[in-house]
Amino acid sequence: MWSWHRQVKDSVSQKTIGLMRMQFWKTAIKEIYRDEPPNQPVSTELWREKDLDDRAYRNLQELETYSENTQSSLMYLLLECLGVKNVHADHAASHIGKAQGIVTCLRATPYHSSRRKVYLPMDICMLHGASQEDFIRGSQEQNIRDVVYDIASQAHVHLQHARSFSHNVPAAAAPAFLSTVVLEDYLHRVRRADFNVFHKSLQNRNPLLPIQLYIRSWKKTY
């Protein structure tokens, strides 16, 4: 009887802690938008996003570091809220967060380019002789596609690395990693568009995405 009561108490405690953490982040997000970020690493990184508005990432590593400090950190928080404490899940979260940051940068390229801003890693652009002006005018030349290919390939590599830990990641972590469905969908579609990041098909939503998310959630896999 004591054991059962203790289980209930622990369960309630975990849920309460989870709710408190979620409330903390809701408040933190509001404060970030008021330019008053809490003195907390993830909050500070999210608030710093506006500091990146006027320059591109110097290299892919800088984009990955930023993604780790923002996207991956939020996944660590989700894992904590789910009660998952597992080093393999943490490694998977690190790679998925980096993939998400990279894909987000690619997906936003047409929008940013229309506002004469380009944030793609400068080292890869220079490698292929692609200028910011090329992206601003929506060039579909091969060198622009090569830039997109290199960046998208890195996101794909991170997803593969994340899956290499799947056999050791508890099923309870699956909800935190559902974003892999969306990331896979974009990478598949940009590949079908021959890495033309400005292709109209990339601006349309995949109507099957909700079903794919449901199936992945049901299978408790990522």
Using alpha carbons only, give the angle 106, 92, 37 rounded to the nearest 5 degrees.
65
Instruction: Give the Å distances, CA to CA, from 105 to 26, 86, 160, 206, 216.
Output: 24, 29, 19, 19, 25
User: What tens digit of pLDDT does each residue of 119-131 get?
Assistant: 999 999 999 999 9
Whether residue 67 contacts residue 96, with contact meaning beta carbons closer than 8 Å, is answered with no
| Residues in the chain, total | 222
Please give the span between the terminal C-alpha atoms of the chain, in angstroms, as a whole number: 38
Task: For residues 132-143, give the mean pLDDT.
Answer: 94
Predicted local distance difference test score (pLDDT) of residue 30 = 65
* % of the chain at pLDDT higher than 90: 66
**CA dihedral sign, ordered 179, 160, 102, 146:** negative
What pLDDT is attached to residue 184? 95
At residue 7, the pLDDT reads 45
> What is the number of alpha carbons within 13 Å of residue 166 lying toward its C-beta?
14
Say whether pLDDT at 182 is over 90.
yes
Which tens digit of pLDDT belongs to each residue from 70-90? Answer: 999 999 999 999 999 999 999
What was the pLDDT predicted at 212?
86
- DSSP one-letter string for the chain: -HHHHHHHHHHHHHHHHHHHHHHHHHHHHHHHHTT---SSHHHHHHHGGGGGTTS--SSHHHHHHHHIIIIIHHHHHHHHHTT---HHHHHHHHHHHHHHHHHHHHHTHHHHHHTT---S-HHHHHHTT--HHHHHTT---HHHHHHHHHHHHHHHHHHHHHHTTGGGS-GGGGGGGTHHHHHHHHHHHHHHTTT-TT-GGGGS--TTHHHHHHHHHHHT--
Contact indicator for 154, 102 with CB cutoff of 8 Å: yes
Residue 45 has pLDDT above 90, yes or no: no
The predicted structure's pLDDT at residue 89: 96
Q: What is the pLDDT of residue 42?
A: 64
